[in-house]
Amino acid sequence: MSGFSLLVEALEHLDITHPTTVQLQTIPKVMKGHNILCAAETGSGKTLSYLLPVVHRLQAEKDSEMYGEGAHKISTLVLVPSRELAEQVAAVSRTLCAPFGFLTRTIQPFDPTVIQTSTGIILYSHRRRLCLYHL
Ligand SMILES: Nc1ncnc2c1ncn2[C@@H]1O[C@H](COP(=O)(O)OP(=O)(O)OP(=O)(O)O)[C@@H](O)[C@H]1O
């Protein structure tokens, strides 16, 4: 099964078959590498607006020669303002990433992270526990 089909299947597990307005407006731009500032009401689908392009890109890189070098490195960092939101985003990310074998982690003491609050990131960066070199 192709990476695209796996992603569609992962979305179907979340009962998602059509993009929301926010996703329609943002995903094509993010896929082209543009920076996006998106403000929309809660529940409008902002999380997938950035997670889908990220997973799609990681999957494409996995299929390329670039993957070998960075396979065990942190490649994506999501900063959110609360631990609750971090757990929420991580749960969606895990569902999307599962078919590809990508790991999603939130920060725990002395544990490298992918998703955590900005305060946590700053704390861990100062302690030199988090290597962001490959971002
Ligand atoms: N295209 C879609 N079709 C159907 N449901 C969707 C779609 N995109 C997201 N959802 C669902 O809508 C709900 C809200 O999505 P999401 O958490 O991404 O919104 P949000 O804008 O990030 O909200 P918040 O501002 O509270 O973080 C989730 O349950 C998600 O699974």
Report which DSSP code applies to 108. Answer: B
pLDDT of 118 > 70? The answer is no
User: What type of residue is 98?
Assistant: A
ipTM score over 0.90, yes or no: yes
Residue 53, pLDDT above cutoff 80? yes
Count Cβ neighbours within 10 Å for each residue of 83-114 and write b for 16 or more, e otherwise: eeebeebbebbebbbebbebebebbeeeeebb
| Pocket (CB within 6 angstroms of ligand 1) | 14, 16, 18-20, 23, 40, 42-48
Question: What pLDDT is stored for residue 60 in this prediction?
Answer: 84
Report pLDDT digits (tens) over 91-100. Answer: 999 999 888 8
CA distance 124 to 135: 16
Residue 68 to residue 66: CA distance in whole angstroms: 6
Residues in the chain: 135
- Segments making up each domain of the chain, as ranges: 3-126
| 38, pLDDT greater than 60 | yes
Residue 119 pLDDT exceeds 70: no
| Tens of pLDDT, residues 65-114 | 555 555 567 778 888 877 888 889 999 999 998 888 888 888 654 454 55
Domain 3-126 is of which CATH architecture?
3-Layer(aba) Sandwich (3.40)
- Which of 8, 12, 15, 16 for mutating ligand 1's site (highest number of atoms within 8 Å of CB)? 16
Q: How far is the CA of 36 from the centre of ligand 1 (A)?
A: 18
89 alpha carbon – ligand 1 mean position (Å): 10
- In testing the pocket of ligand 1, which one of 36, 48, 52, 84 has its CB within 8 Å of the most ligand atoms? 48
Left (φ > 0), alpha (ψ -120 to 50) or beta: where does 104 sit?
beta
- d(CA 46, CA 103) in angstroms, rounded, equals 21
Mean pLDDT over each residue of the chain, to the nearest integer: 81
pLDDT at 21 over 80: yes
